[in-house]
Every structure is written in C-alpha cells, then in structure tokens.
A and B are shown apart, each in its own frame.
Chain A
Amino acid sequence: MPFIPHTEDDVRAMLTAIGVDSIDDLFDEIPPTLRAKALEKLPEGMSEMEVTALMHARARMDGQPLCFIGAGAYDHHIPAAVWQIATRGEFYSAYTPYQAEASQGTLQLLYEYQSMMTALMAMDVSNASLYDGASGLAEAVLMAVRANRKSKSRRVLLPRTLHPAYRKTVRAIVSNQNIELVEVGFDARSGRTDQTALQAFAGEDFAALVVPQPNFFGVLEDVDALTDFAHANGMLAIAVVNPLAMAVLKPPGEWGDAANGGADIACGEGQPLGAPLSSGGPYFGFLCCKQDLVRQMPGRIIGKTVDLEGKTGFALTLQAREQHIRRSKATSNICTNQGLLVTAATIHMALLGGEGLARVAASCHANTATLLERLCAIDGVTRCFDGPLFHEGVLQLAAPVADVLRSLAAHNVLGGYDLAADYPELENAVLVCATEMRTEADIDEYASKLSRVIAARTQARCPVEPKFN
C-alpha cells in the first residue's frame, strides 16, 4: 500500500463514522456473483528501489544507438530548464483549468503558447493542443469539412508526400463520417506533389487540400502554388508543417496569393519544440486557423479577460464548442489534451526565441546537407529526388534497404527509415535525417559504416552480417 496514508486507528474511526464494520461492507451493492477474486495473477508490489533497478535494466537493454532516423520524430537539444520547470508539481499535477482563479499559471502559459504558435505560423488563432500531429490533422480535416462555406463536399485531397502514418491515422479517424480521402501522387524526379496530377482535380468539388511542408521525403513543396490551387477551386488549404522549420521557412499564413490570406488551417506535430523522442509520445498536435474559423475549432482555447476588479486574467473560452457543454453537437470529443507538452513547448520557445529556433533549424538543414553529401560519395548511394530539402532526404541504395539497416543497427547506427512498405514504387529508398545534435564525427561514423556495409552487400552478396570493428 505504497501511497495510502491511513493508520489502523484512522480506519476504525472512519468505519465507525460511516456505521459499517469493515471496508468490505462498502462494496455490498455489487452483486455477489460479480465480485472478483483477488488480482492474484498480478506481480507483487515493489519498493521504489526495486522498481528503479528494474527500469534502469530495461532502459539499458535498448542501448543508445546513433540515430539518423527522422520521419516525424526528431532528436533535438532540449534546454535543461524546460522539463525541470514543466515537471514542477504545480504544472505536473494540476488538471484542466476549470477553476480559472486557481489555475492562472497554466492559463497564462497557454495564452502565451497560443501567442507563440500563431506568431510562428503567421495565423490568427491557435488552440491549446491536440494529441499529436497525425490525429491533429484528422481534426483539421473534420474542421475543414464543417467549415467550408463554398463546398458541401465530404472529399479531401491528401498528397502521397504526406507522412504515411498521418494518412493512415486520418483515414481511421474520419472514415466513419463518410469523408472520402483522395490521394494525389508525386513527381518522381523532384519528390514534390505532382502539379499535373493535381490539376486533374481542378474544377472538382473538394472541401480541402492538405499541404505538407516539408513533405515526408524532406522535400519542400511549392506551397504557394498548392495554396492558390486550393483557393481557386473552392477548397480550404490545410497546412501540415514542422514548427521548427517555420522559424526559417515561409509560414502557412503567408502562403499563396496574399489576397487570400494564406492557408486556412495550419497543424502539425509539436514534438520538435521541446518534447523528447520518448518512443513516439507524449507529443502534442498544434492547430491554428484564420479568425473566421475559430468557432469550428476543436479543443481548449484560452482567452484573456478581466476579473471583477478589472484586473487581467485568463480563462477557458468558447466552451460552447466543446463536448462537456454541447455533448453530441460538439466540434470534437476531445477533452484531455497534451497540456504538459505544451507547457514544455512554451518554455522551450521562450528560451530559444526566434533567433534560437532559426539557428537550430538552419543547423539541421546544414547537417543533413553534409550527411547527404558524405553518403552520396559512397559507391552505390545516390540521391532519390532533386527538390530542395529542409532537414531530411531520401537516398537510393544499391542493396536492399532492410538488410543494410539491419547491418548498421548491429553496429549501433540507426541508419534511417525504410520506405519500401509505404512507397513500393521507390526501389531501395531510405529516408535519413541529421539534426543539430549529430556532429561531424557522428556523420563520419555513419558514412564509414555504410560504405563498408554496402561494399560487403554488393560485392559478396552474402546474407550474413558483415564483420568489422
């Protein structure tokens, strides 16, 4: 009973006050036939010291390989202050700020987050977070279908350059509402969304076009042309962006013809802003939109207001959109979101500032350029696409990618994300990434190991692990 404070005297006094003989009497409304036997199959409780030993051992088992995988989750430096403050009990162990007067810390922080996010995206409004980038895009799609005044269509265009896991997630979440997702192919040379394929949909009725920047291949899309295409055809433009990249790339609010005011909705994965890799979560999804769509937004939104003495304060607002008020007519069923991750992201953005984020983004760009250059110098390694990149790129190998990655992993290098399952049309293609965390020495190590693995694979065509080191 590690966290139960009751003494035997307490229990006796409490039972007497209630007027029962035993704690078990308190469960007398449960039909006896349903009463469970003790949870005997569960392991016995452990002390903190024992659990600590167990978890250290488990963590050690996974090693700390040199990671060149990106694919939607990126290894960035996080200032020590970020999680030291975010895990203060006052943030960590509070809940949704229903009692605004007792939650001004969280509420003001969320208002600052909304301010930072809208600044980064050049959008009017931000909510206070969704679960992650992929489910956030699903919410953005639902929002666009509700909000598009020019179109009653329930069809949405998704480029194949969008993260495959995002495409799957959106499908799983929106398909029960009769929304049809139509995929648009990519140009095999540039790795960008194929403009000709897209033009084939001109004049057709769609609620929205999804525009990733950068796309899953790390390639920069022609966001202006895509946004203009959406608007010219009565669609909303939904931007899916890496928020770190927006420190140096044109933000969604400025995409396309200025007369149309940029993308209508901007969303994405907040992980690069202070969330550790942590096996894929918890991260947070961000969601921004134009002012006139604010009432269609899902999730919590914080507003600035005054108290009865006229002093500035912050509160949850526009709650009439939400499930606890509107029930079956709510904009979404979301309740708990990713508050603690947003707390970290806000502190992270405050510490980095615009210049700091731009330096991180530019360093990732430069490191990836170096990585690609070094790897492409190896016989049997070439670039797959010639479109401009942010901080990832696709390589084509002269050997089966799965085998190469397995050999690299055996030598403690995670060499990238194998594209075979998601893009069978690309032969032996691997997506690689070098964030600002990867040093020259790391890149050298990867290049030398890859060169030996490829040489061994292509020369010997031998199925066993090449031995070196």
Chain B
Amino acid sequence: MLIYEQSQPGRRAFAQAPKQRPPLDGVPTALQRANPPALPEVSEMQAVRHYTRLSRKNFSIDTEFYPLGSCTMKYNPRACNSLAMLPGLLARHPYAPDTHSQGFLACMYDLQEILKEVTGMKRVSLVPAAGAQGEFTGVAMIRAYHDARGDSARNEIIVPDAAHGTNPATAVMCGYKVREIPTLDDGDVDVEALKAVLGPQTAGIMLTNPSTVGVFERRITEIARLVHEAGGLLYYDGANLNAILGKVRPGDMGFDVIHMNLHKTFSTPHGGGGPGAGPVGVSERLIPFLPVPMVGFDGHDYHWLTEKECPQTIGKLSAFAGNAGVLLRAYVYARLLGGEGMVRVAEYATLNANYLAKRLADAGFDLAYPGRRATHEFIVTLKKQAKELGVTAMDFAKRLLDHGYHAPTTYFPLLVPECFLIEPTETEAMDALDGFVAAMVAIKAEAETSAEIVKTAPHTLPVRRLDDVRAARELDLRWQAAG
C-alpha cells in the first residue's frame, strides 16, 4: 500500500512543523501557490511504520549475502556512519570560514593523502560525487591536457568491449568518439587490435584493471607504453580497486588518471543507489587540471584550494565540495583499517573469490576464464544450463533470491553469454560462501528435475517476477488521485 493510500485530510505529524504559518508578506499573489501540493497527510507513527515496513522488503548487506559483481558489497561499518553524523560535522555549512572548518578540512586533507599513497598518484581531488562523475572528471582532464598543449585534433577514446557502460557514455559526454577494442579469449585486452586503432587521433584509453571480466590485465605495462607513445593518456577505472589494495598501484602501472569508488573499496554505503564518491588521482602532468575545491595545508592551517590557486582547473562538478559526508565515512574506514588492514582487504577479497570460483567449478559450473586466477571477482557462464535445461542466468538469479541470496550481477559483461559476475568481498566468512555454493547446486538440481520452479522464481518474495515490458509500455511513474 502506498503512503498516499493511508492519507486522510487534516492528518499531520504535528510535532514536526512550526506551530504557526505566518503570512507571506510582500510576496505578490501571482507568485504564490494557489493549491497545496498533493502530498500524503499521515501521522508520525504511520509514516514511521510505513517506511520501516518498506525497508523490510529489501535485500541488503546487513541482511543477506550480496555478491553483486563489480559493486563490492562489503560490510559497511556502523561507526563510519555514526561518526560522520556527529552533530558538529552535520551542522557545518559548506561556506563556513576556514576558522570554523579545521577539523573537517583535516579529515579531507588526510583522506587525500591516504588515497595518494594507495593509488601511487601524485595528487587527489575528492569532489566527484560518484564513479561516473569521476570518469567524467578524468576524461575532461585528459581533454584539457591535450587542449592546453594545442593538441586538440585528438578526438577518440579507446574503450575495451567489456567495459562498464559508463566508460563509453562518459567519453561521449566529454565530446569524444568511442573506439571499441575486443577482448581475447583469455580475458586480456587484444593488444594487436589496440595497436591498430592507436594514432594521432587517440586522446586516451579507459581501462579497468583488474578488468570487468575479473582478471588482471597482464600486458598493462606494454599497453601503457603503446598508448603513451601514440600521445594518448591512460585512464584507470577504479571500480575494481578492492582487489589490488597494497598489491599493485595504478600509478606504478603507468596510468595518468584514476577514479576510485569509495562506496566500493572504502565501504561507504550504497544507499539503495547512492550517494557514492568518486575521487580522482592524477600523475604529474594532469595536476593543473584537477577539479576544485581541494584542501591544502601550509604546515599550520588547512585551507581550500579554488579556481584562484588552480587557474587551469576543469572547474566545479557540484555546487560545493562533493559528497563530504561520504568522504568522512571513507576516512573513518581508512583509519580503522590502516595500511596493513588495506592490504588484507585485497588478500581476503581475492582468497574468497578464488575459493568460491573453485567450489563452483568443482560443483559443475563453468567459469568463463578457467585458466585464469580470479581477482576479487569472477564470471560463471550458465550457457550450458540455458541450452540444455532452458534455464537462464536470469532464472538462476531469481531462484537465488528464494534461497536468501542476492543475485550476482547478471548479463554483464555483455560479451560472456548467460553470465554471473560474482564478487563475494573480504567480509564474508567461508561458511557464507559454502552456503551460496549449496544454493547454486540445489538450483541446478531443480533445473534438471523441475525446471518450472526455477523459471517462475521467485516464489517467496513480496512479489513474483515483474512485468518489465508493461512497466515501460504503460508508463505509470507517479501516484495520481482517483478520478
């Protein structure tokens, strides 16, 4: 039932609004609202009960194993939330003067330094609000770099066909054409194909390493050399940074710019679709173009760095300084872990992924790249099951929900048919992984004997399988009063 369907005229949460409604003195009637907006009229308890009940219709990390590949759904420590919500931090106005900001700025400066060390980059700006905005920032800086050198004829960004959809979409937002290159059967980028498309038109390449197919790109040094020789820059999509913390650094691999998804690697909440944070780190040559504001430190006080100090900046990406509250959560997480803890994140994320991959392979599931080490994630292809049993990856995904597991990422990357991209993360224990394997095995057995159960799953959730076609064809995007 919608909150609107519980509404009664005249009902309110009386404690929550001022006692009076003063007149709008001086506001011309023509500019005032004639009819009140159709918002629900409910008591405080009704609202609390309604949204508490709604919350219970969600799967989440706090309630289920959530191996959504490429999303790093690890435990979000509660302290990160409560400490970012200390009254002094919540009440700080974005335009508060530096005299009243030293505590906050110190956290931001520390975080910049931590991310520099983790990535091996030369400087970091924290402002991008999510991964895709970090990507935009990175490619916009690549463009600003070429333009500043009078090298503006470069109009192509190279993207592997396995890349996340945000990569090509970002390149286009920055005014570039996208050149796709294929992935080899072993999961590495086709370097010969790369050589063929590199040229004076190349502005740069966007790569994820470990790649979106869950393997480490072994020829990365060669790729970096080839792209640089052609005059292009290398962009690192940090979606998969969790796998390599303290093991290998993008700066050492030769990348010029990287974005990090703090809502993945640094365990800030995914919040049902954000907020994220997508800080960028750069090599020496891109420092002048970093987005503002950043935080500087003169040995005594912290201060903002703005357009004034950074005249070549690509500018501002949001009204203030990005998702500050998310950055605070990431900072608390980084301090809890410390350097040693971060290395262990990569180790145990990788251990869990390799263990789960091996167990699933032993149980008769096909790995997409069986000859390769898994990184923090890996791909299972259910092509065989789809062909022989008529049960697709989608069906497996829905049936997993009945077993109390959130489904892995399905049908991404697009080049592997009927695929599951599975990322267990380091915070799951071995028994949780074993439980997942047992569920997969049980579903496979069902698919062999009574496929219909799998094809019509889920059976135990608040709703059965939904009609997506109808949702798109008969658009119903808001509640409207009857009549």
Q: Which residues of B contact A350 (CB under 8 A)?
A: 3, 39-40, 42, 47, 50-51
Once the chains bind, are B18 and A62 in contact (CB under 8 Å)?
Answer: no
Which residues B58-111 have CB closer than 8 A to chain A? 58-64, 66, 68, 71, 73-77, 79, 81, 83, 85-97, 99-104, 106-107
* Number of A residues with CB within 8 Å of any CB on chain B: 204
Closest chain B residue to A34 by CB distance? B248
Q: Which residues of A contact B117 (CB under 8 A)?
A: 39, 41-42
| The 6 nearest A-B residue pairs measured at CB | A280-B320, A89-B62, A340-B271, A45-B338, A280-B94, A172-B315
A424 interfacial contact with B, CB 8 Å: no
Q: Which residues of B contact A436 (CB under 8 A)?
A: 18
B465 interfacial contact with A, CB 8 Å: yes
Bound together, the chains give a CA A6 to CA B426 distance in angstroms of 9
Question: How close is B102's CB to chain A, nearest CB, in angstroms?
Answer: 5
The stretch among A15-23, A183-191, A374-382 that forms the contact with chain B is A15-23
The stretch among A229-237, A304-312, A449-457 that forms the contact with chain B is A304-312
Q: Which of A105, A131, A333 has the most CB of B within 10 A?
A: A333
B120 interfacial contact with A, CB 8 Å: yes
Once the chains bind, are B426 and A388 in contact (CB under 8 Å)?
Answer: no
Bound together, the chains give a CA A92 to CA B91 distance in angstroms of 21
Which residues A126-166 have CB closer than 8 A to chain B? 126, 128-129, 131-135, 163, 165-166
Known contacts: A62-B103, A352-B13, A409-B99. The answer to whether A248 contacts B62 by CB under 8 A is no
Which residues B323-369 have CB closer than 8 A to chain A? 323-326, 332, 334-345, 347-348, 350-352, 354-355, 358-359
Once the chains bind, are B340 and A23 in contact (CB under 8 Å)?
Answer: no
Once the chains bind, are A220 and B467 in contact (CB under 8 Å)?
Answer: no
Once the chains bind, are B93 and A27 in contact (CB under 8 Å)?
Answer: no
Q: Which residues of B contact A5 (CB under 8 A)?
A: 427-429
B464 interfacial contact with A, CB 8 Å: yes
Q: Which residues of B contact A122 (CB under 8 A)?
A: 37
Known contacts: A2-B77, A327-B165. The answer to whether A101 contacts B51 by CB under 8 A is no
Q: Which residues of B contact A347 (CB under 8 A)?
A: 47, 51
Bound together, the chains give a CA A57 to CA B86 distance in angstroms of 11
Closest chain A residue to B404 by CB distance? A102
Question: How close is B238's CB to chain A, nearest CB, in angstroms?
Answer: 13
B20 interfacial contact with A, CB 8 Å: yes
B230 interfacial contact with A, CB 8 Å: no
The stretch among A110-118, A204-212, A259-267 that forms the contact with chain B is A110-118
A290 interfacial contact with B, CB 8 Å: no
A461 interfacial contact with B, CB 8 Å: no
B303 interfacial contact with A, CB 8 Å: no
Q: Which residues of A contact B18 (CB under 8 A)?
A: 359-360, 362-363, 436
Once the chains bind, are A168 and B316 in contact (CB under 8 Å)?
Answer: yes
Q: Which residues of B contact A134 (CB under 8 A)?
A: 316, 318-319
Once the chains bind, are A353 and B407 in contact (CB under 8 Å)?
Answer: no
Closest chain B residue to A410 by CB distance? B99
Bound together, the chains give a CA A433 to CA B427 distance in angstroms of 46
B406 interfacial contact with A, CB 8 Å: yes
Closest chain A residue to B43 by CB distance? A351
Once the chains bind, are A169 and B246 in contact (CB under 8 Å)?
Answer: no
Once the chains bind, are A99 and B401 in contact (CB under 8 Å)?
Answer: yes
A87 interfacial contact with B, CB 8 Å: yes
Once the chains bind, are A39 and B272 in contact (CB under 8 Å)?
Answer: no
Closest chain A residue to B139 by CB distance? A176
Question: How close is B153's CB to chain A, nearest CB, in angstroms?
Answer: 15
Known contacts: A14-B355, A59-B103, A336-B274. The answer to whether A30 contacts B247 by CB under 8 A is yes
Once the chains bind, are B103 and A96 in contact (CB under 8 Å)?
Answer: no
Q: Can you list 30 A-B contacts (CB < 8 A)?
A: A10-B429, A27-B373, A31-B218, A38-B340, A41-B117, A62-B101, A87-B81, A95-B273, A100-B468, A116-B40, A119-B478, A132-B129, A220-B27, A249-B27, A249-B31, A279-B93, A280-B318, A280-B321, A281-B318, A308-B465, A317-B471, A318-B475, A333-B169, A334-B130, A340-B274, A341-B274, A350-B42, A359-B21, A388-B26, A405-B97
A459 interfacial contact with B, CB 8 Å: no
Q: Which residues of B contact A97 (CB under 8 A)?
A: 272-273
The stretch among B194-202, B381-389, B439-447, B454-462 that forms the contact with chain A is B454-462
B398 interfacial contact with A, CB 8 Å: yes
Q: Which residues of A contact B335 (CB under 8 A)?
A: 43, 45-46, 51, 54
B191 interfacial contact with A, CB 8 Å: no
Q: Which residues of B contact A85 (CB under 8 A)?
A: 48, 51-52, 55
